[in-house]
Amino acid sequence: MAGEIAVDIEKRFPSGPVIRANFRLGLTAGSTTILFGSSGAGKTTVLRAIAGLEQPDRGVICFGDDVWLDTSQGRNLPPDLRRVGLLFQDYALFPHLTVRQNIEYGLQHHRKADRRRVCDEMMHLFEVTDLADRRPRDISGGQAQRVALARAVAPQPRILLLDEPLAALDVPTRTRVRVELRRLLERVGIPSVLVTHDRAEAITLGQRIVVMSEGTVRQIGPVDEVFRRPADAAVALAVGVESILVGVITRVESGLAKIQVGHLTVTAVALEGVREGQQALVCIRAEDVTLQPSGPRADSARNHLAGRIEAIESDGAVERVTVDCGFRLVAMITRNAREEMCLAAGGAIVVSVKATAVHLIPL
């Protein structure tokens, strides 16, 4: 099952940004497109508008040749006629119904025998057959997600819409269920659009990403490309680039650019069209920064900067190290690496960043 969805809508709220979304997505069977952005960016509003749960003030939404919304013509198909499958962050399972009854709920137009057959297929597909007679309060969060997904898929929707589907889970469960959710989405073969603000979820679950910031779509593309090469400062902030520096390009030669940042020079791969004297943002991801007690001499393809550790913040097995080397850089290392190097706030350190890992955004 595949298709194309085109969205061009505007929604105004009494407070907050005006949501303006204009994009077109090719949808292939089993593919997942991520609607990504921070809280208030407008992603859930767009998802609800696609579902038919939110009435835009203006706009058009089409799925293939079918017009779901056209405000100029007074057309706004209800969710059931759009044939969308919905999965909310709280899963919205009916607490008084069993797992089987929850899955069969969307199959009321089927004959009883067909409802049971389809439900049996869904329970087998999502590996919840042994939970058929239990109620939502008697199953785990991961199991509830599978049941909710089975209920959404049972009526054979044209597209699945998922709104922060892992937000209700605790962190350890979320990490495990994330991988399982990707497997299930690929298996059902229905294109999906998934809202999240979590970078790990976007990278794990999506093939393409639509980044929203302050109510507008800022960049669309393959997930890895967008995270590595944000189009502008708003996207860089949205996708969590830890170090965004302002500099001036002082030299472009042999495919490399020299950028003056404060009193230091950073080397990056030169983008086509960049020129000397041009201002640019220098974007460096924390996982691309290497720390070492002492470093080799700098060369044209790699940056080596001496600095002092400002702070170390722990996030479980991973630690964020902020270094002042004339400007602030953030590095992400394991706890074991920090212990082996005996790193502590105030200590001297050398940071290394490959030129290929430095992304320039010309201003």
Average pLDDT, the chain: 90
Whether residue 66 is found in the same domain as residue 115? yes
Alpha carbons within 13 A on the beta-carbon side of 209: 31
Range of the domain at 55: 3-236
- 189 pLDDT band, cuts 50/70/90, is confident
Distance CA 206, CA 182 (A): 8
Name the β-bridge partners of 67.
Answer: 62
In this prediction, residues 310-327 reach a mean pLDDT of 89
Whether residue 248 is found in the same domain as residue 200? no
Task: Say yes or no to pLDDT of 281 above 50.
Answer: yes
List, as one string, the DSSP characters of 261-300. ETTEEEEEEPPTT--TT-EEEEEE-GGG-EEESS----BT
Using the 3D structure, point to which of 210, 236, 262 is the last residue of a domain: 236
pLDDT digits (tens, 9 = 90+) for 5-64: 999 999 998 877 799 999 999 989 889 999 999 988 999 999 999 999 999 999 999 999
User: Residue 44 is part of a domain; what is its CATH number?
Assistant: 3.40.50.300
Whether residue 200 is found in the same domain as residue 284? no
* Helix-strand-coil split of the chain, %, nearest 5: 30, 35, 35
Whether residue 232 is found in the same domain as residue 175? yes
Task: Say yes or no to pLDDT of 1 above 70.
Answer: no
What integer pLDDT is reported at residue 39 of this predicted model? 87
Whether residue 227 is found in the same domain as residue 264? no
Whether residue 313 is found in the same domain as residue 269? yes
Residue 233 structure tokens = 């400062």
What integer pLDDT is reported at residue 15 of this predicted model? 78
Using the 3D structure, point to which of 179, 201, 236 is the last residue of a domain: 236
H/E segment holding residue 179:
helix 171-188
What integer pLDDT is reported at residue 120 of this predicted model? 94
Distance CA 300, CA 68 (A): 55
Q: Please give the share of the chain, as a percent, with pLDDT higher than 70.
A: 97
What integer pLDDT is reported at residue 165 of this predicted model? 86
Whether residue 152 is found in the same domain as residue 249? no
Distance CA 99, CA 148 (A): 9
Task: Say yes or no to pLDDT of 300 above 50.
Answer: no
Contact (Cβ atoms closer than 8 angstroms) between residue 258 and residue 265: yes
For 335, the 3-state DSSP assignment is: helix
- 2 pLDDT band, cuts 50/70/90, is low
Whether residue 256 is found in the same domain as residue 208? no
What integer pLDDT is reported at residue 216 of this predicted model? 95
What integer pLDDT is reported at residue 331 of this predicted model? 93
pLDDT digits (tens, 9 = 90+) for 155-183: 889 999 999 988 877 777 777 778 888 88
What integer pLDDT is reported at residue 176 of this predicted model? 78
pLDDT digits (tens, 9 = 90+) for 321-357: 999 999 999 999 998 888 888 889 999 999 999 999 9
Q: What letters, b where the CB count within 10 A reaches 16 and e where it falls short, cover 178-199?
A: beebeebbeebebbbbbbbbbe
Using the 3D structure, point to which of 192, 209, 236 is the last residue of a domain: 236
Whether residue 231 is found in the same domain as residue 291? no
- pTM of structure: 0.83
Q: Are strands 359-362 and 328-334 parallel, antiparallel or unpaired?
A: unpaired
For 226, the 3-state DSSP assignment is: helix
Contact (Cβ atoms closer than 8 angstroms) between residue 106 and residue 154: yes
The total domain count for the chain is 2
Alpha carbons within 13 A on the beta-carbon side of 178: 20
Whether residue 58 is found in the same domain as residue 187? yes
User: Residue 358 is part of a domain; what is its CATH number?
Assistant: 2.40.50.100
Residue 18 structure tokens = 């005006």
pLDDT digits (tens, 9 = 90+) for 216-239: 999 999 999 999 899 999 999 999
Sign of CA dihedral 133, 135, 140, 145: positive
For 329, the 3-state DSSP assignment is: strand
Distance CA 232, CA 361 (A): 6
What integer pLDDT is reported at residue 91 of this predicted model? 80
pLDDT digits (tens, 9 = 90+) for 116-157: 999 999 999 888 999 999 999 999 888 888 899 899 989 889
For 96, the 3-state DSSP assignment is: coil
Whether residue 125 is found in the same domain as residue 62? yes
Amino acid at 53: L
**Burial degree of 131 (CB within 10 A; 0-12, 13-18, 19+):** buried
What integer pLDDT is reported at residue 325 of this predicted model? 92
Whether residue 206 is found in the same domain as residue 253? no
